[in-house]
Structure 1
Amino acid sequence: MKRKPNPPAPRPNRRTATARRWAAHRRTITAHLLRGASYGAGTGAVGLIFWWIEQRW
């Protein structure tokens, strides 16, 4: 008994592949953005504290 050959799998188009890559890296990108915002806020706070100390003394 002969079997029918399996049809070739459809190839994803470029947009689908890009969307899948973006979805896979979304958590990493979000973590990096949050880390950058945290460092920026901390640097700004320390700068303001030192500026305030200089103004007071």
Structure 2
Amino acid sequence: MQSIHRPRATEQTRPIHRAKHWTARRSADLLSSALRGAAYATGAGLVGLAFYLIQQQL
């Protein structure tokens, strides 16, 4: 009689699964950090441009 249950993960596949999970989590963190940095840089650039334009008007 054959079992319908999947075999348990072996000791070799568990570290692979953990590594994939870790990599996916880190890539999401990296993307979030890059987007946050781009937003800060854009905001700083706009503020700098605004100050430059105000100085040109004075």
Give the 5 Å matches for 1:29-48.
29-48=30-49
Unmatched segments (≥5 aa) in structure 2:
1-9
Q: CA RMSD of the aligned region, Å? A: 1.9
Structure 1 runs of 4+ off > 3 angstroms?
none
TM-score, length-normalised on structure 2? 0.62
Identity among equivalent pairs (%)? 34
> How many residues end up aligned between the 2 structures?
45
What is the rounded CA distance, in whole Å, between the counterparts of 1:25 and 1:43 in structure 2? 27
Larger radius of gyration: 1
Normalized against structure 1, the TM-score is what? Answer: 0.63
Matches of 2:25 and 2:56, distance apart in 1? 48
Distance, in Å, in 2 between the alignment partners of 1:24 and 1:34 is 16
Counterpart of 1:35 in structure 2: which amino acid? Answer: R
